[in-house]
Amino acid sequence: MIQFENVTLKRKDVLVLRDISMQIQDGEFAYLVGNSGSGKSSIHQLIYGNFLGYEGTIKINGQDIQLLDFENLQYTRQKIGIIFQDYKLIADKTVFENISYRLGFSENKKDVKKIVHYWAKRLKIAQYLAEYPSNISGGEQQRVAIARAIVDKPSIILADEPTANLDPQNAVNVMAILTELNHKGTTIIMTTHNTGIKCKYQYRTIFLADGKIVND
Per-residue burial over 161-198, b = 16 or more CB atoms within 10 Å of its CB, e = otherwise: bbbebbeeebbbbbbebbeebbeeebbbbbbbebeebe
Question: Would you say 29 and 205 are in contact if contact means Cβ atoms under 8 Å apart?
Answer: no
Amino acid sitting at position 140: E
Q: What is the pLDDT of residues 161-209, one digit of tens each?
A: 999 989 999 999 999 999 999 999 999 999 998 888 888 999 999 999 9
Q: Which domains are assigned to the chain?
A: 1-213 (3.40.50.300)
Q: What is the pLDDT of residues 47-71, one digit of tens each?
A: 999 988 899 999 999 999 999 999 9
